[in-house]
Structure 1
Amino acid sequence: MARFHDIGLRHFVAQIEQAGAEVGARVRWHCDQWLAELVTDDRRALVIGRVFPLNDAAAAQIATDKVATCALLADAGVPFVPHHLLRFGTGPDPVALTRELVGLPAVLKPHRESSGVDVLRAVDEAEALAALTYLEGRYRAIAVSPLLPIEDEYRLVVLDGDVLLVYRKAIAAGEWRHNLRFGARPVLDVDPTAPTPAALAAMRALGLRFASVDVAVVAGRPKVLEVNSGVSLEHFSQAGERHRALAADVYRAAVRACLA
């Protein structure tokens, strides 16, 4: 099993230990620091990876599925970037289906989680064929979404209706994905007015207590891009001392909520 520092949890481990100490909880690590056990005299909470025991199991699973998330957002009237399910080997030609679902250019990605891994764009049929052939070798199904001209993208971390953290993802030069692991910078001191209503509405629609919500601004309108029930701030923490302190505040609040 990979050690925690190999899978990007170095800051997370320290932040959880600090948060536990501040609330009087003993922190025991298992599975090479992938699983945390927080214990007080009368409470016990388990945290695996970046997933806290604050959301019910169904809501947490829905949030990991981009297509299921979109179904609930649509039903609740929350503006969102559409994601459609494409299953390999059970329907028409995948390139033709991509054209039918969203047209080209398109974004092709795993429909569950991914953290930006294997998120590909296809401008024309040749790129779509190459991307779909690659993804078919790795996944049984993917999500297909339109490639939109995103003006800004924000991440908001929400706990029980309160926005604990909001930052803008400034993409790296020559990159099109707004992922910190691909060089985007987390910009603080942003105006949360635009993305907050959509993020809070998404949390309500999915029945989540604690999650991060990515909101894209397209043509001046905020749209929910995806929701993550596992709150990862490791790359955010690497951006500087202030970022680490803000991430620690988020995890401190989550730990308190788990043991309340």
Structure 2
Amino acid sequence: MLNSPRIFLDAVSKYCVTHGIQIEIRAAGWLVVMRRGTKQHLAFGYDLGLNSSVAHRIANDKAATAEVLHALGIPCVPHTVFFSPQMNEVMPPQASWEAMIAILRANPSGVVIKPNEGTSGNSVFRVSNGPELELAAHRIFASSPSLAMSPWLDIEDEVRVVLLDDRPLLVYSKSRPTILGDGVRSVLELALAGMPYEMRSTVFSDMIYNLDSATLNSIPPPGERQLLSWRHNLDKGAQPVLLGEGKVRDDCVELAAQAANAIGIRFSSIDVVNVNGAWKILEINSGVMMEALGRLHPELVYAAYSAALDKVFD
């Protein structure tokens, strides 16, 4: 659980108080028991329990999600699953390493590997050669039974769509951390000066991992903008920016709704990415986490969770 109180718990608690629902918070905040009359409902983590177990498991599996979407012709980022060697006891052994190297060779710009199940951008690595791939795979398999491998893509923009039964509750882009050159200070100095104190440890660890020392010590000319991370993860320093009405919003909502219907999920947050001018599904999240957005727009987050809970207790 996060060290600070989660807005998810706050939103659920306020809803229950307002609607005369008894609530018990257990398991250090991960399990919520709600009762109204004879009806009892459970929420776990960031999952309010609206989705079927099959939809939840597919959404939680990046490779399975990509397989379903690809089969139905819905544009998506391909993900290939590989299992830890420790899984050989329960699964037929596979020539995983040769297949991973083949995917790497087929993508000269590099690949991204990450746990096949998981969120928040933890243990996500961009690799460009065999030794980097081997090290990253070992790190992931140390804590996860499987990993997902996808081509590295130059993502121009990433948009998150929070959907409830095909209705968009929230649509926002993820703005990556950047600095603006002044011709005097280095990238590192500018990052230190412009980064909020509470975000420094998160952003700097990601920045130092992704930028070499020459880049960190370089002095950008006045007005030149420098990205500090290739990742759009909100837990790694990106900031949510609400999208107004328009074609981008409409296109993202339409594609997200197609993806949600493809796996039969009711309440989800779906990440849509723009690559070379075309929108694709990156992943579907069954647990709807909105902590970063809640710090800026808590009223919108409360409204979104309330709408979902209305469906639960309707």
Counterparts of 1:179-198 in structure 2 under 5 Å? 179-190=233-244, 191=246, 192-198=249-255
Which residue is equivalent to 1:119?
124
Partner letter of residue 115 of structure 1?
S
- The offset of 1:92, in angstroms, is 4.6
TM alignment of 1:73-112, pairs within 5 A:
73-89=69-85, 90-93=94-97, 95-99=100-104, 102=107, 104-112=109-117
Classify the secondary structure of the residue corresponding to 1:232: coil
Secondary structure, counterpart of 2:273 in structure 1: strand
Q: 2:6 matched to 1:10?
A: yes
Contact 2:108 2:128 in 1 (8 A): no
Give matches, 1:156-171, under 5 Å.
156-171=161-176
Shift of 1:43: 2.5
Alignment match of 2:63 (pick from 64, 67, 71):
67
SS of 2:162's equivalent in the other structure is: strand
Structure 2 counterpart of 1:137, one-letter code: A
Q: 1:103 to 1:69 in 2, by over 3 A?
A: farther
Counterpart of 2:308 (choices 250, 254, 259) is 254
Please tell me the residue identity of whatever aligns with 2:275: V
Give the RMSD, CA atoms, in angstroms: 1.8
Compute the TM-score of the two structures, normalised by the length of structure 1. 0.90
The runs of 5 or more residues in structure 2 that have no matched partner are: 86-93, 179-227
Q: How is 1:37-48 mapped onto 2 (pairs within 5 angstroms)?
A: 37-48=33-44
Report the CA distance shift for 1:205/1:212 in structure 2 as closer, same or farther (over 3 A). same
Name the CA shift for 1:140/1:103 in 2 (closer, same or farther; >3 Å).
Answer: farther
* Cα pair distance change 1:215/1:56, threshold 3 Å: same
Instruction: Provide the rounded CA distance (Å) in 1 between the counterparts of 2:83 and 2:132.
Output: 18
Runs of 4+ in structure 1 deviating by more than 4 angstroms, as ranges, are 100-104
Q: For residues 217-257 of structure 1, what are the alpha-carbon distances to aligned partners after superposition, in whole Å with 9 as ceiling and x for unaligned?
A: 1111110000000111112212x2xx111110111011111
Partner SS state of residue 231, structure 2: coil
Structure 1: distance between partners of 2:167 and 2:265: 12
SS of 1:195 mapped into structure 2: helix
Amino acid at match of 1:131: A
Which amino acid in the other structure matches residue 177 of structure 2?
A: A
1:219 paired with 2:276, answer yes
**Hey, what does 2:152 align to over in structure 1?**
147
The CA deviation at 1:104 is 4.5
For residue 136 of structure 1, the aligned residue among 133, 141, 144 is: 141
Report if the CA contact (8 A) 1:172-1:185 is conserved.
Answer: yes
Partner of 1:79, secondary structure, is coil
In 2, distance between residues paired with 1:33 and 1:87? 31
Conservation of the 8 A alpha-carbon contact between 1:20 and 1:255? no
Equivalenced residues, count? 253
Deviates more, 1:100-109 or 1:40-49: 100-109
Q: Kindly tell me: are residues 33 and 140 of structure 1, through their superposed partners in 2, closer, same or farther at Cα, counting changes over 3 Å?
A: closer
Corresponding residue SS for 1:193: helix
SS of 2:15's equivalent in the other structure is: helix
C-alpha change, 1:136 and 1:41, in structure 2 (3 Å) is closer
Listed one character per residue, the Cα deviations across residues 52-95 of structure 1 (whole Å, up to 9, x for unaligned) are 11111111011000011011111221110000112344315355
**Aligned equivalents of 1:87 and 1:104: distance in 2?**
24
TM-score (norm 2): 0.76
SS in 2 for 1:118: coil
